[in-house]
């Protein structure tokens, strides 16, 4: 998705006349007003915290600090999700939502620079993610939190959940990325056939030049494949691009410097992570979870497809598991359909935090028969 986001950003900032800059400031101010949280039990906090030996940005928002905590692991590579905060305003009534700009990303990249961000690898991100969860748990005085991992964040998010189940009530994956090593040739053929059916010969040629084996891709190949994969679903591509452009351009508190750092961080992170991305296989990270496991996937996602996510879901062993498809959503399902996604969170996820006894019951019953179903 790196290419898609970069294009949305460049579309937003290219050749902007003064009148549109004024309109942008007005829209940012209106969004900021809607984001206000008032009352003694609310929390709005942004700060840099030392994580993994470097300063990393963490934002915390919620209407009631007594609510359960939802820690988000963003995707990319290198795509901070803090720009989506206005889209998640309804979530903050039921959860304290924690955003974290990973090393090499967003405000963390802006503060530390490419050298200051240090090593960027799945292993380092896993260690950072555990440390962030520990910080959030202590800062908000919670026994456990929920882990919501999206897209590239889900690649190391499963490792975070498997290594430290004591930190979490449940794992929730969205845009669940299970890697490129399984089903890749079939996915490649399907994208190519959709492009042919649409008459997009340029896209067919671009895919064939890159080839079906991602092990041989350069960063440019990776971005081109992402570009044409998204364009193979024109309605979804148009909706996603509009959502991304509006999110970046009108993000409250974001200046042009923040946008430039956002793009630079994505490029830097893709270069660092590409060798691991193309070789990633979720099954190698593990399929046994000691906490409830959920996947909420966009029904129309052509990037991290429901078919591949379902393959991994079916092999997962957990005390409770459920997979639901979000209608009228592709990649970025949580932001394209935030209210529908929230409904899924409120069905089976949030109740797990209401009593530790409930979680213990799930664990005890799981010894006899795991509870799981897929909802479509």
Residue range 112-144, pLDDT digits in tens: 999 999 999 999 999 999 999 999 999 999 999
The whole-angstrom separation of Cα 104 and Cα 291 is: 29
Does this model's pTM top 0.85? My answer is yes
Q: What is the end-to-end Cα distance of the chain in Å, rounded?
A: 24
Q: Torsions phi, psi of 113, nearest 5?
A: 75, 170
Partnered with residue 338 across adjacent β-strands are: none
Mean pLDDT of 293-312: 96
Mean pLDDT of 257-261: 89
Residue 310 has pLDDT above 80, yes or no: yes
Instruction: Tell me the pLDDT band of 366, cut-offs 50, 70 and 90.
Output: very low
Q: Give the other-Cβ count within 10 Å of 351's Cβ.
A: 13
Q: What is the pLDDT of residue 370?
A: 35
Q: What is the pLDDT of residue 49?
A: 98
Q: What is the pLDDT of residue 357?
A: 41
The whole-angstrom separation of Cα 169 and Cα 167 is: 7
The whole-angstrom separation of Cα 32 and Cα 20 is: 18
Give the 3-state DSSP-derived string for the chain, with helices as H, strands as E and coil as C.
CHHHHHHHHHHHHCCCCHHHHHHHHHHHHHHHHHCCCCCCCCEEEEEEEEECCEEEEEEEEECCCCCCEEEEECCCCCCCCHHHHHHHHHHHHCCEEEEECCCCCHHHHHHHHHHHCCCCCHHHHHHHHHHHHHHHHHHCCCCCEEEEEECHHHHHHHHHHHHCHHHEEEEEEECCCCECCCCHHHHHHHHHHHHHHCCCHHHHHHHHHHCCCHHHCCHHHHHHHHHHHHHCCHHHHHHHHHHHHHHHHCCCCCCHHHHHHHHHHHHHHHHHHHHHHHHCEHHHHCCECCCCEEEEEECCCCCCCHHHHHHHHHHCECCEEEEEEECCCCCCHHHHCHHHHHHHHHHHHHHHHCCHHHHHHHHHHHCCCCEEEEEC
Q: Which two tokens stand for residue 307?
A: 């078919």
Mean pLDDT of 164-190: 94
The whole-angstrom separation of Cα 120 and Cα 232 is: 31
Instruction: Tell me the pLDDT band of 161, cut-offs 50, 70 and 90.
Output: very high
Query: For residue 102, what are the contacts with CB-CB under 8 A and spacing of at least 6?
Result: 56, 73, 74, 78, 80, 108, 125, 128, 153, 269
The whole-angstrom separation of Cα 84 and Cα 45 is: 16
Q: How are beta strands 69-73 and 293-298 bridged, if at all? A: unpaired
Q: What is the pLDDT of residue 5?
A: 59
Higher pLDDT pick, 363 / 91: 91
Q: Domains in the chain, please, with CATH?
A: 2-6+39-179+254-375 (3.40.50.1820)
Q: What is the pLDDT of residue 355?
A: 61
Mean pLDDT of 41-66: 97
pLDDT digits (tens, 9 = 90+) for 78-99: 999 999 999 999 999 999 999 9
Q: What is the pLDDT of residue 367?
A: 40
Categorise residue 155: left if φ over 0, alpha if ψ from -120 to 50, beta otherwise. Answer: alpha
Partnered with residue 372 across adjacent β-strands are: 321
Q: Give the other-Cβ count within 10 Å of 236's Cβ.
A: 22
pLDDT digits (tens, 9 = 90+) for 235-253: 999 999 999 999 999 999 9
Mean pLDDT of 338-348: 97
Instruction: Tell me the pLDDT band of 21, cut-offs 50, 70 and 90.
Output: confident
Residue 369 has pLDDT above 60, yes or no: no
The whole-angstrom separation of Cα 328 and Cα 310 is: 18
Residue 27 has pLDDT above 70, yes or no: yes
Residue 22 has pLDDT above 90, yes or no: no
Which of 105-119, 288-302, 348-362 has the weakest average pLDDT? 348-362
Mean pLDDT of 69-76: 96
Q: Give the other-Cβ count within 10 Å of 1's Cβ.
A: 24
Residue 14 has pLDDT above 60, yes or no: no
Percent over 90 (pLDDT), the chain = 81
Residue 358 has pLDDT above 50, yes or no: no
Higher pLDDT pick, 215 / 363: 215
- Print burial letters for 80-94: b (CB count within 10 Å at least 16), e (below 16): bbbbbbbbbbebbeb
Q: Is 105 exposed, middle or buried (0-12, 13-18, 19+ CB in 10 A)?
A: buried
Q: What is the pLDDT of residue 20?
A: 75
Residue 16 has pLDDT above 70, yes or no: no
The whole-angstrom separation of Cα 96 and Cα 126 is: 22
Q: What is the pLDDT of residue 361?
A: 42
Residue 342 has pLDDT above 90, yes or no: yes
Tell me if 253 sits within 8 A of 19, measured CB to CB: no
């Amino acid at each position: 998705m790196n290419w898609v986001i970069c294009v949305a950003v460049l579309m937003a900032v290219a050749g902007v006349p003064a009148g549109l800059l004024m309109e942008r400031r007005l829209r940012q101010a209106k969004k900021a007003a809607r984001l206000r949280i008032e009352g003694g039990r609310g929390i709005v906090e942004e700060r840099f915290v030392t994580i993994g030996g470097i300063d990393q940005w963490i934002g915390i928002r919620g209407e009631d600090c007594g609510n359960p905590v939802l820690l988000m692991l963003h995707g990319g590579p290198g795509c901070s999700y803090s720009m989506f905060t206005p889209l998640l305003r309804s979530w903050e009534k039921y959860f304290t939502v924690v955003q974290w700009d990973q090393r090499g990303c967003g405000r963390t990249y802006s503060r530390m620079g490419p050298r200051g961000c240090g090593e960027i690898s799945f292993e380092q991100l896993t260690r950072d993610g555990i440390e962030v969860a520990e910080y959030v748990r202590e800062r908000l005085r919670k026994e456990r939190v929920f882990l919501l991992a999206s897209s590239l964040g889900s690649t190391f998010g499963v490792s975070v959940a498997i290594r430290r189940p004591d930190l979490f009530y449940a794992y929730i994956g969205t845009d669940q990325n299970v890697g490129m090593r399984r089903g890749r040739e079939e996915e490649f053929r399907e994208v190519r056939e959709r492009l042919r059916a649409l008459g997009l010969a340029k896209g067919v040629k671009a895919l064939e030049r890159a080839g079906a084996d991602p092990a041989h891709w350069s960063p440019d190949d990776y971005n081109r494949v992402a570009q044409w994969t998204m364009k193979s679903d024109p309605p979804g591509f148009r909706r996603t691009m509009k959502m991304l452009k509006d999110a970046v351009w009108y993000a409250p508190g974001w200046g042009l410097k923040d946008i430039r750092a956002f793009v630079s961080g994505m490029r830097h992170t893709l270069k660092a992570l590409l060798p691991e991305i193309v070789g990633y296989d979720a099954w190698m990270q593990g399929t046994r979870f000691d906490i409830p496991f959920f996947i909420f996937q966009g029904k129309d996602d052509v990037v991290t497809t429901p078919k591949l996510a379902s393959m991994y879901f079916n092999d997962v062993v957990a005390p409770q598991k459920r997979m639901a498809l979000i209608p009228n959503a592709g990649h970025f399902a949580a932001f394209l359909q935030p209210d529908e996604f929230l409904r899924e969170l409120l069905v089976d996820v949030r109740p797990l935090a209401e009593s530790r006894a409930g979680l213990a019951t799930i664990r005890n019953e799981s010894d006899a028969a795991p509870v799981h179903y897929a909802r479509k």
